[in-house]
Chain A
């Protein structure tokens, strides 16, 4: 059982470039989340989804977009990358209670 899988693990972007962070879960969970974690800080919610076709903004959505066309996948899109988006990004999923996290994507924007 793979759980929550994030790709890539590491990425360096130049300012203004775009990319998509992939997140897939094989537990048939309805709820999925994207968080960012800056050094020495807790996690801040970017976007979340309560099911296929339904997404909503979290605390820090500016500069990001998401889609949820299937239950399994919840990609995060960065348009026009900025140095402020340098962070570690975590995807999570849950059914009704316990949340499971991926291993993270470390993104650097230079």
Chain B
């Protein structure tokens, strides 16, 4: 059974800091990994998707990396802003077309 863990569960940083969110998974036989953003009381918005054959993906100030062999992914946010405050979730697609989610990291960026 695939299990996904995100560390830290919560993070508070001052505006302008660069930060890293971590995601680990137990079964390295994944098809892809996706990072989502969730604002309070809202649905999930896809940020980045990394295929199993890729090592990283970038979108603006966001960079996601994938090390499938070690079962890890990181989401790097450069020059954080208060508008980045949200919960960030990672999800992996494994055999059986299932998406398994981590518990999320709640990020607060203080002005």
Contacts and interface: CB of A to CB of B under 8 A. Distances in A.
Interface in A47-83: 48, 50, 56, 58
A102 B46 CA distance: 12
B46 A99 contact: yes
B43 A101 contact: yes
A84 interface: no
Interface stretch (B14-22, B60-68, B71-79, B93-101): B93-101
B34 A90 contact: no
Contact of A99 (B51, B99, B102): B99
Interface in B84-111: 89, 91, 96-104
Contact of A48 (B46, B97, B103): B97
Contacts, number: 48
Interface string B19-48: 000000000000010101000001111100
Contacts of B45: 101
Nearest to B91: A99
B100 A45 contact: yes
A90 B36 CA distance: 14
B43 A102 contact: yes
A14 B51 CA distance: 44
Contacts of A41: 103-104
A99 B98 contact: no
Given A42-B89, A43-B89, A99-B91, A33 B99 contact: yes
Contacts of B101: 35, 42-44
Interface of A: 31, 33, 35, 41-45, 48, 50, 56, 58, 90, 92, 97-104
Q: Which 3 A-B pairs rank lowest in CB-CB distance, beginning with the nearest?
A: A42-B103, A101-B44, A43-B101
